[in-house]
Amino acid sequence: MSSRTLRASRLAAAGVVAVIRAPDPELVPELGAALVAGGITALEITTSTPRFADAIRATRVALGDQVLIGAGTLMEPAQCDEAISAGAEFAVSPVFRPALIPGCHAAGVPVLLGAFTPTEAQAVHESGADFVKLFPAEVLGLKFIKGLKAPLPHLRLVPTGGVDATNAGEFRRAGCAAVGVGGSLVKPDLLKAHDWPALTALAAALVASWRS
């Protein structure tokens, strides 16, 4: 099994991808540990985090192989190169950026590209991306996802936006490969207060919902 296939399998097995937008890169290893304590095993550190590559590198050192660490909000191949050099194991863009795929795949890194319509979702699939990031999922909703999967069951969908502990399991039952969860999990007020026990509790509830 190739490293890319193995990482894609680990991402799907994780189910819940925590999307981290931290105001300070030095917070990321700590908050990552809190998320892992709640059962989350995939972290997406976005480029909106200052010195995001440093945050990826430090989190990789702190948490090791117990978590799959990726980079998010990627727009240019150079950002992918920077993230992969820092230890990123998957790459995510909120939009359709097929130019990101060759470099990532050459490094054994699976890619999630953004889509909003059925045509875009199929285009992401045909581009060779490993997953389709449906974004923003709170606008599309579960009915859209069920309707999309009916004629296009081959799509490996990862909805992001609007997912929380009340509905994560419903997204899984609708046929999604995983879900991305940002603001409803990694809440700014918890980061500001360094309230890691509360973050761990939120993570545990979200994972339980997904596994239900």
Q: Is 133 one of the annotated active-site residues of the chain? A: yes
Q: What is the CATH number of domain 3-211?
A: 3.20.20.70
Distance CA 153, CA 175 (A): 8
Q: What pLDDT was estimated at residue 33?
A: 98
Q: What is the pLDDT of residue 162?
A: 93
Q: What is the pLDDT averaged over residues 40-68?
A: 97
Which of 30, 44, 82, 126 is catalytic? The answer is: 44
Query: What is the percentage of the chain residues whose pLDDT exceeds 90?
Result: 98
Query: Domain residues of the chain, as ranges?
Result: 3-211
Catalytic entry in 26, 30, 133, 146: 133
Clarify whether 149 is annotated catalytic: no
- Beta-strand (E) ranges in the chain? 16-20, 42-46, 68-72, 91-92, 111-115, 131-134, 179-181
In the prediction, which pLDDT does 103 show?
A: 98
Residue-wise pLDDT tens digits, 153-188:
999 999 999 999 999 999 999 999 999 999 999 999
Confidence of residue 1 (pLDDT cuts 50, 70, 90): confident
Q: How far is CA 187 from CA 20, 43, 194, in A?
A: 9, 15, 11
Percent of the chain scored above 70 by pLDDT? 100
Average pLDDT of the residues in 45-51: 97
Cβ–Cβ < 8 Å for 111, 100: yes
* Residues 74-91, mean pLDDT to the nearest whole number: 98
